[in-house]
Copies of this chain bind each other. A is one copy, B any other.
Amino acid sequence: MNLLFLGTSAGVPTKTRNVSGIALRESKGRSWYLIDCGEGTQHQVLHTRLSFHSLKAILITHVHGDHCYGLPGILASAAMGGRKAPLTIVAPAGIKTWLEATCEVTQLSLPFALEFIASDDLPSVEFENIAVETFSLSHRVASYAYAFTERKVDAALDMDKLAQKGIPRGPLWGQLKQGFDIEFAGEQLKSHDYLIFKNTPRKIVIAGDNDQPDLLIEACAGAQALVHEATYSEEMAHKAGDVGHSYGKLVADFAEKAQLPNLVLTHFSPRYQRNPHASPSIENIREEAQRVYSGSVFLARDFGEYTLEKSGHFSEVVGE
């Protein structure tokens, strides 16, 4: 699994940072998922190798403009680029209403179907190689986190459990091995209960705007990395609370408690500059996080790329 940040600025774009957008790529092939789609996300995509043809789904964390105003344009461009395959959109219900109004007013007719799934119902969504779970956060509007778990990990069937349950050798074994849940003797059986994994499935949690990181404790179980906003540093804690945002130390305290091995911070207020000598600098956010957290802290930058290997090792991709 691979993360490519398309925008890391909060609220407004700056000369060097766009508003929110993250591409999560599968470990094999070209399939990818877009998490949030601020204005200009499609422009950022033009400077990557991502193709709108291999985009599996767009997931929106909440309705604020810096996380969704790029949606109509990206859909229009995918259409003009010849996309025909249906596209899944997981988003708060308001986004569906808004896109429908947008298509009507601006006479945008898409040559592909949009399959809407309302985040408000906290859905679990299974794609071919990735399973997504949804979790509620705390912000000025309904906001969600999405947990992405790899489905097809190297695994062997647990023969003891299969025998115990009396599941006969045959197609059901194949389905379980490929990560599909099955129905047997009137019971729903979870694939992962009948597999012995050689590696822990890769899992990354990407959270929307949120002022209570503790809400992510369940979402983060078994995750190797959490991507979370740190709009401010601790000296702005009061302001952060007022506007429903987090600051570096708050997120890092949670990551330490949850024993997360990797924490990627993003969505920095434009007041924080990249230059470590500037004041305030994004580096201040790293420092306060690293002081309370024993895992690895990463500060996302536009076009910054991270890889989560089969072994669970998470690192920034440097160069090409």
Given the known interface contacts A11-B80, A15-B46, A47-B15, the answer about A39 and B106 at a Cβ–Cβ threshold of 8 Å is no
Say yes or no: is A199 at the interface (Cβ < 8 Å to chain B). no
Q: Does A97 contact B (CB under 8 A)?
A: yes
Decide if A72 touches B69 in the complex (CB within 8 Å).
yes
Residues on A lying within 8 angstroms of B by beta carbon are: 11-15, 18, 39-40, 42-43, 46-47, 63-66, 68-70, 72-73, 76-77, 80-81, 94-95, 97-98, 101-102, 105-108, 140-141
Asked whether B102 lies within 8 Å of A39 as measured between CB atoms, the reply is: no
28 contacts between A and B (CB under 8 A): A12-B42, A12-B77, A13-B42, A39-B39, A39-B40, A39-B43, A39-B69, A39-B70, A39-B73, A40-B40, A40-B43, A63-B105, A64-B106, A65-B73, A65-B102, A65-B106, A66-B76, A68-B106, A69-B69, A69-B72, A69-B73, A69-B76, A94-B105, A94-B106, A95-B105, A98-B102, A101-B101, A107-B140
State whether A141 and B107 are in contact (beta carbons under 8 Å apart), knowing that A12-B76, A12-B80, A101-B98 are contacts in the complex. Answer: yes
Smallest CB separation, A298 vs chain B (Å): 25
Q: Looking at the complex, which one of B11, B68, B72 makes contact with A65 (CB distance below 8 Å)?
A: B72
CB neighbours (8 Å) of A105 from chain B are 63, 94-95, 97-98, 101
- Asked if A13 and B69 make an inter-chain contact with CB atoms under 8 angstroms apart, the answer reads no
Q: Which residues of B contact A47 (CB under 8 A)?
A: 15
